[in-house]
Amino acid sequence: MAHHQRAVAAAAILNTGIFTIEAVAGYQAGSLSLLMDSAHNLSDEMALVALWLAFIVSRGPSRTLLRSANIFNSVGLIAISGLLLWQAIERFLNPVPVQGAVPIIVGLTAAAANYVVARLLREPGEHNAAIRLAYIHNLGDVWVSLAPVIAGVLLITTGYAFFDPLVAAVIALWIIITTGREVLASHDELVWPERIVCCHTQHEKITHSA
């Protein structure tokens, strides 16, 4: 349990750096693709913080925090992605200037950092559904963070600013589809973790009695 706590805490701290750098860089460069990836990482950050708190408080509140982490990492992420998808459509129709080099540099940095976060969550994710969802998201973030890199390269080579919101829209759609699929696949375990714990406990009692 202590190992899980340290891993989640380290992942949360690193993730904080990722979304902060992407948010600042995306705003200054006018890159919606970076802002999209930053929002994605912010959602994961809130979930990781809730998960970390769930490990250090008593059993009752920890269940509530665990459920909150699941919601932040799934429903909240879908909602944020939908909002930024709408912004991407507006930017696509009305392009704004974007500094192409910034998404390339920051995107590569974020991809490397997300890989480290995923590695931190891999082992504890084998024993906890909420951590597993965070692990899956951060592993996917490695590739998602490369999307702004693609946008920056296309923007620099072609001079067309609409590539940035186009890539942002693709990221948003990918997040919505993959997150929704994971929620449907693990609905009971993620939304009602105490039911899973209860069932496991009852199963153990029956096994020991037999």
* Domains, the chain, ordered by start: 2-209 (1.20.1510)
SS3 state at 75: helix
DSSP for residue 126: T
* Percent of the chain surpassing pLDDT 70: 76
With beta carbons less than 8 A apart as the criterion, state whether 163 and 151 touch.
Answer: yes
Instruction: Report yes or no: 155 and 98 within 8 Å, Cβ to Cβ.
Output: yes
If you ran DSSP here, which 8-state letter would residue 200 be given? H
pLDDT tens across 109-144, in order?
Answer: 999 999 999 898 888 777 777 778 778 877 877 888
The pLDDT of residue 43 is above 80: no
Judged by average pLDDT, the poorest of 19-28, 46-55, 94-103 is: 46-55
What the block records as the tokens of 119 is 């590695």
Residue 180 in tokens: 């929704």
* CA 101 to each of CA 11, 35, 60, 106, 145: distance values in angstroms, whole numbers, following the listed order: 27, 15, 48, 9, 14
Residue 203 has pLDDT above 60, yes or no: no
State how far the Cα of 50 lies from the Cα of 190, in Å rounded to an integer.
14
Range with top average pLDDT, 7-11, 40-44, 122-126? 7-11
pLDDT at position 107 over 90: yes
What's the predicted TM-score (pTM) here? Answer: 0.72
Model pLDDT, residue 66? 65
Cα 171 from Cα 100, distance rounded (Å): 17
pLDDT of residue 67: 64
Burial 155-171 (b: 16+ CB within 10 A, else e): beeeeebbbbbbbbbbb
Choice between 204 and 10, residue whose per-residue pLDDT is larger: 10
Q: What is the pLDDT of residues 170-200, one digit of tens each?
A: 888 887 887 777 767 665 555 544 443 444 3
**Separation CA 98–CA 148 (nearest Å):** 11
The model's pLDDT over 52-85, given as tens digits with 9 standing for 90+, comes to 877 776 555 556 666 656 666 677 678 777 877 8
Mean pLDDT calculated for residue range 146-170: 89
Are the CB atoms for 137 and 92 separated by under 8 Å? no
> What count of other Cβ atoms lies within 10 Å of the Cβ of residue 51?
31
How many residues does this entry show for the chain? 210
Neighbours of 127 (CB within 10 A): 11
The predicted structure's pLDDT at residue 104: 94
